[in-house]
Structure 1
Amino acid sequence: MTTPLSVLDLSPISTGSDARGAIRNTIDLARHAEAWGYRRYWVAEHHFVAVASSAPTELIALIAAATETIRVGSAAVQAGYRTSASVVEAFGTVDALYPGRLDLGLGRSAHRLPQLRAPGTPPPPRPTVVRDGVVVPPPFSPAQIRDTSRLAASLEALRLPGAEPLDYAEQVAEIRALLAGTYTTADGIHLRAVPGEGAGVQVWLFGSSGGESAQLAGRLGLPFVANYHVSPGTILETVAGYRTAFRPSEQFPEPYLVVSADVVVAEGEARARHLASTYGHWVASVRSGAGATEYLDPDTAPPLTDYQRQLVDDRVNTQFVGTPAAVAARLSALQQLTRADELVITSVTHRHEDRLASHRLLAREWGLAGAGAA
């Protein structure tokens, strides 16, 4: 298997632990991921919930300092809460000490507030289909969330009073111009980001549909990440939206697509399913509107309620859980269906030791360099 594997880490906080422990676990996993042959180590950005990745640039700097060669990046910076200059200067600062290793992933989360205020009605139901061994469930609709008040309050708290996010395409253009040294204000004044200009930072876009993010990445000839682990029901249109819109760029004459997946790997099937049994609780806490709660211990967690199960069926049914061979086979099917150039996996368990084992076992099964001696 030659398709590269990378890691997406949400820095989850388990019951009985805290943010300090989660950050230490992230650094530890990053060091192991580098040794086992993973190509990239990306961190997410979430706020006011039980994950410790609320400050991705600072966390990226810590990971870069603790590793030597693995690429490190954001998946993705919620750019709408920041000025373009602050994003470029922050990444430029880290790049000054760890040049050529940073991936600047940009997301549209800051533009979701209008959707939360008026979520609309659920789309017509679609059946679950299996395409070449890959489960594609009906898309999840935000209209299924009963209470969006907490999430809306969180998004509001991240903005300065009265501020509205810049148009996404416009902000992506500003960030790229600042990195390239071609940024000019509306008044015609040339400004330079120091540090930032000329930094060896690769810009990525992330998306869960075939809409604006996928199409913008395609038009600009940028690499793109399709979030199967977040929105498995829209993976086919997301990939198609990017490929259809793609126009060659100097750096990427062909599309470069990464597809994400959520996995839990253990030596035995029963053990893997036990470790993954509280994943549904975690996703349900997000989709209920309460925000991600602490990751529960599978030894003591209660069963999912009917409402929770309804919220998370698509995610639970598309999580890749099992032995190394079984999970690798399912990932290979996902790669072949989407023609992904790379896969990025996220693996969350209550105990850090089990999360390390999940990444190690998959790396060895996939044939990553360095994993054979693990």
Structure 2
Amino acid sequence: MKQLRDIPISVLDLAPIVEGGTAADSLHNTLDLARHAEGWGYHRYWLAEHHNMTGIASSATSVVIGHVAAGTKSIRVGSGGIMLSNHAPLMIAEQFGTLESLFPGRIDLGLGRAPGSDQAAARALRRGLGSDGSEFPEQLSELRAYFDPNGAGSRPLGVRATPGEGLNVPIWLLGSSGFSAQLAGQLGLPFAFASHFAPDYLLPALHLYRSSFKPSASLDKPHVMVGLGITAADTTGAARWLATSQQQQFLNIIRGRTGKLQPPVDDMESLWSPQEKALLLDKQKYSIAGDKAYIKERLLQVLEETGADEWIIASQIYDHTARLRSYELVAELIKDN
């Protein structure tokens, strides 16, 4: 049976812009967290593509990946993920080919098919590209062909990615439903599931991925990364107080709003309705707030449920020092168990 120390841990950084802070502050904190995470033994540091969101600083995801990779030494850096429907596959091949050329052996390319934005921003981004996720398999095939010297059949005649062609940039599919799970399995690619915001689909998606898996040049057996929201502190009370920042963020999403990450509050009951509370708590089944003992208990439960091969942890914490401490505590408990 797997032990916690057998499971690599990684960081999913949503590059939060906090109330009273700026995007510049957020990007400074991103690099600071990445350097600490590298020292604590985290395996990957991934950044997510979101647009038209005043509380997230990683919209130019490839640029931020380069910033983090340049400021660290060994940790793998990548996207969690690039929303391929927003981009021409050639441009992503060139961007990640450039990153891999600058930081060889350290770059991951995680891909999603959602726009990572609202409808207005999606229209502004796509400018004639496909308007829904149905084109994703075709785009993915074209993108993979740009990295493959023998893949000319899936890309426009005479078009090559430089840098990019011939480089080994591991591609992951990301998902919050069954579509990408099945596609990743059929293509023999590693799969990462966003259980920190789509918990109800986690186990069905993992079953679909594993049952549809076909060995490939990339993988000989299924490989699953499970995304978790974790807020750790020295006491469970402190952790649950810190986690109210993330709860306020989820509450805004439920209400169709965006905004900067808010400070913790002493009483969420005054902010949500009973219906909103029930919906939010259901969405946070795989968001864990507590001390090391409580987080260990929940991680062991999730490991038994999912058979995860890796964890990737998102921690939406208002205070940067408290956020660092949260990731440090998780690293300590994994190492010791």
- How would you bin the TM-score normalised by the shorter chain? over 0.9
Q: Secondary structure at the match of 2:56?
A: coil
Whether the 8 Å contact between 1:41 and 1:71 is mirrored in structure 2 is yes
State the shift of 1:300 in Å: 7.3
Which of these residues, 39, 47, 52, is aligned with residue 48 of structure 1?
52
| Residue 96 (structure 2) pairs with residue 91 (structure 1) | yes
State the shift of 1:314 in Å: 1.5
Specify the code of the residue in structure 2 equivalent to 1:98. Answer: F
| Residue 328 (structure 2) pairs with residue 360 (structure 1) | yes
Match of 1:205 in 2: 173
State the shift of 1:358 in Å: 0.1
| Residue 253 (structure 2) pairs with residue 286 (structure 1) | yes
Whether the 8 Å contact between 2:85 and 2:129 is mirrored in structure 1 is no
TM-align CA RMSD: 2.1
Whether the 8 Å contact between 2:145 and 2:155 is mirrored in structure 1 is no
| Count, aligned residues | 329
Match of 2:27 in 1: 23
> CA 1:332/1:84 → structure 2, altered by over 3 Å: closer, same or farther?
same
Structure-1 separation of matches of 2:124 and 2:155? 31
Q: Percent identity?
A: 38
State the shift of 1:163 in Å: 5.4
Match of 1:140 in 2: none
State the shift of 1:198 in Å: 1.6
> CA 1:295/1:207 → structure 2, altered by over 3 Å: closer, same or farther?
same
Q: Secondary structure at the match of 1:247?
A: coil
State the shift of 1:154 in Å: 2.0
Q: Secondary structure at the match of 2:174?
A: strand
- Deviations along 1:12-65, one digit per CA (max 9) or x if unpaired, are 111110111011101100000000000000001111111101011000000000
Structure-1 separation of matches of 2:112 and 2:91? 15
State the shift of 1:288 in Å: 2.3
Q: Secondary structure at the match of 1:57?
A: helix
Structure-1 separation of matches of 2:11 and 2:154? 39
- Deviations along 1:186-223, one digit per CA (max 9) or x if unpaired, are 8972422101112221000011122x201110011000
> CA 1:287/1:154 → structure 2, altered by over 3 Å: closer, same or farther?
farther
Structure-1 separation of matches of 2:202 and 2:105? 30
TM-score by length of 2: 0.92
- Deviations along 1:126-183, one digit per CA (max 9) or x if unpaired, are xxxxxxxxxxxxxxxxxxxxxxxx9221221212157546711111111111011234
Match of 1:242 in 2: 209
Q: Secondary structure at the match of 2:58?
A: coil
Specify the code of the residue in structure 2 equivalent to 1:11. Answer: A
Structure-1 separation of matches of 2:121 and 2:78? 24
Q: Structure 1 stretch 24-33 or stretch 335-344: which is displaced more?
A: 335-344
Structure-2 separation of matches of 1:172 and 1:308? 37
Match of 1:296 in 2: 262
TM-score by length of 1: 0.83
Structure-2 separation of matches of 1:161 and 1:368? 52
Which of these residues, 170, 174, 183, is aligned with residue 142 of structure 2?
174
For residues 201-280 of structure 1, the aligned pairs below 5 Å read: 201-210=169-178, 212-280=179-247
For residues 26-105 of structure 1, the aligned pairs below 5 Å read: 26-49=30-53, 50-105=55-110
Whether the 8 Å contact between 1:283 and 1:312 is mirrored in structure 2 is yes
Whether the 8 Å contact between 2:78 and 2:110 is mirrored in structure 1 is yes
Whether the 8 Å contact between 2:197 and 2:284 is mirrored in structure 1 is no
**Stretches of structure 1 lacking an aligned partner (at least 5 in a row):** 113-149, 370-374
Which of these residues, 305, 314, 323, is aligned with residue 291 of structure 2?
323
- Deviations along 1:265-291, one digit per CA (max 9) or x if unpaired, are 000111111111222110122232223
State the shift of 1:184 in Å: 3.1
